[in-house]
Amino acid sequence: MEFTAATIAGFLEGEVEGDPKTVVNNIAKIEEGFKGALSFLANPKYEPYIYTTQSSIVLVNKTFVPSSKIDATLIRVENAYEAFASLLRLVDQTRPRKKGIHPTAVIEPSVKVGSDVYIGAYAYIGDNCIIGDNCSIYPHVFVGDNTRIGKNCTLNPGVKIYHECVLGEGCTIHAGTVIGSDGFGFAPQSETEFMKIPQLGNVVIEDHVEIGANVAIDRATMGSTIIRKGVKLDNLIQIGHNVEIGENTVMAGQTGIAGSTKVGKNCMFGGQVGISGHLRIADGTKIGAKAGVPGNVKKENSILLGLPAIDHMDFLKSSVIFRKLPDLKTRVDNLEKEVKTLREK
């Protein structure tokens, strides 16, 4: 599909600088551009590429001031990154969507299936499930008994949703993710034996949540593990039983949240963050990659780094000392030798 600079500018409410009839039919990174491709420039460190890129059209911020001649046609917008994301969504929506139910899919007679639903090969939908309108359920998906899935959801290949879980509208679950597996509940019976505690709750995922590949979200022991609306989870994340994740919180890959912890809304966690169980994390908290949180975070909009996690400014001050530790040790050793010499005299 081809678009002119004028058409793209109209969609983005931008301004064309150059030939409005320039045509593109593909997208590319600005450093890998080619004729007929559209790119964007948002990060200043990529500015040198705009003077050499072969892309036909480049989205730039309205505030961008070039320091040299640019061959590409520019479209100036308020935010080039957001504008590019809007174009990607437009392109994605033009892709043909699979429809119909594959003959190898197994759908129990008590299931209620909405209109315009796609169910792929070897998918299984259990007793008394409800599948909302316009859902796409790809091959080898398992949906356990009494599960409810809202409208416009996408379950990618190999997703497993255990019994009695609830998905809101507009959710996307990527391949290999397991929702509703048992929480890690075991009571010690002796020094060498543990008794499994039945996990009788479920998982509730609200509207417009996106969950990456190979994520595990445990069902509650009692009640619900809850993922609030707008949450975005990266790949390889572990959410323990009875955890609650607040609205619009985002987490990068390999983050782990232990059981019964409540995470506030609008939080941001870097990769490999670990949070202990039964904690409260305040709204707006930002936690840097590889940080470990052993206690409650009470102050909203805190920024934490390190293990154990501390305020980011304290961590940065401490890191200066960390780097000096070898020198400090040498100085202490020398001082000890001098004190020893003085004592001997």
Is residue 241 flagged as an active site residue? yes
Interval 149-163: pLDDT, tens: 999 999 999 999 999
Q: What is the structure's pLDDT at 218? A: 98
Per-residue pLDDT band for 67 (boundaries 50, 70, 90) equals: very high
How many Å apart are CA 321 and CA 344, to the nearest integer? 33
Interval 223-245: pLDDT, tens: 999 999 999 999 999 999 999 99
* CATH code (residue 131): 2.160.10.10
Q: Which of 39, 60, 94 is the last residue of a domain?
A: 94
Domain that holds residue 20: 3-94
Q: Average the pLDDT over 25-52 and give the result.
A: 96
Same domain, 185 and 246: yes
Q: Dihedrals φ, ψ of 285, to 5°?
A: -70, 135
Q: Which of 77, 94, 111 is the last residue of a domain?
A: 94
Percent of the chain topping pLDDT 70: 100
Q: Are strands 186-188 and 224-227 parallel, antiparallel or unpaired?
A: unpaired
Of 52, 59, 54, the closest CA to residue 8 belongs to 59
Which residues 6+ apart lie within 8 Å of 201 measured at CB?
A: 219, 220, 221, 222, 223, 224, 225, 241, 242
Per-residue pLDDT band for 66 (boundaries 50, 70, 90) equals: very high
- Beta-bridge partner residues of 27: 38
Q: Which of 94, 111, 144 is the last residue of a domain?
A: 94
Q: What is the structure's pLDDT at 72? A: 96
Q: Which residue in the list 140, 163, 241, 312 is annotated as catalytic?
A: 241
Same domain, 89 and 108: no
Q: Are strands 303-305 and 286-287 parallel, antiparallel or unpaired?
A: parallel
Q: What is the structure's pLDDT at 272? A: 96
Same domain, 8 and 84: yes
Chain-wide mean pLDDT for the chain? 95
Per-residue pLDDT band for 291 (boundaries 50, 70, 90) equals: very high
Same domain, 44 and 24: yes
Q: Average the pLDDT over 160-176 and give the result.
A: 98
Interval 327-341: pLDDT, tens: 888 999 999 988 988
* Three-class SS state of 114: coil
Q: What is the structure's pLDDT at 325? A: 86
Q: What is the structure's pLDDT at 310? A: 84
Q: What is the structure's pLDDT at 97? A: 85
Per-residue pLDDT band for 344 (boundaries 50, 70, 90) equals: confident
Q: For the chain, how many structural domains are there in total?
A: 3
Does residue 89 carry a pLDDT above 90?
A: no
**Residue with token string 């398992």:** 142
Which residues 6+ apart lie within 8 Å of 176 measured at CB?
A: 158, 159, 213, 214
Same domain, 265 and 118: yes
Q: What is the structure's pLDDT at 96? A: 84
Same domain, 174 and 68: no
Same domain, 189 and 280: yes
> Does residue 147 contact residue 123 with C-beta atoms inside 8 Å?
no
Same domain, 90 and 224: no
Same domain, 302 and 327: no
Q: Average the pLDDT over 84-112 and give the result.
A: 91
Q: What is the structure's pLDDT at 202? A: 98
Does residue 1 carry a pLDDT above 80?
A: no
Same domain, 145 and 262: yes
Same domain, 166 and 127: yes
Same domain, 131 and 195: yes
Q: What is the structure's pLDDT at 190? A: 84
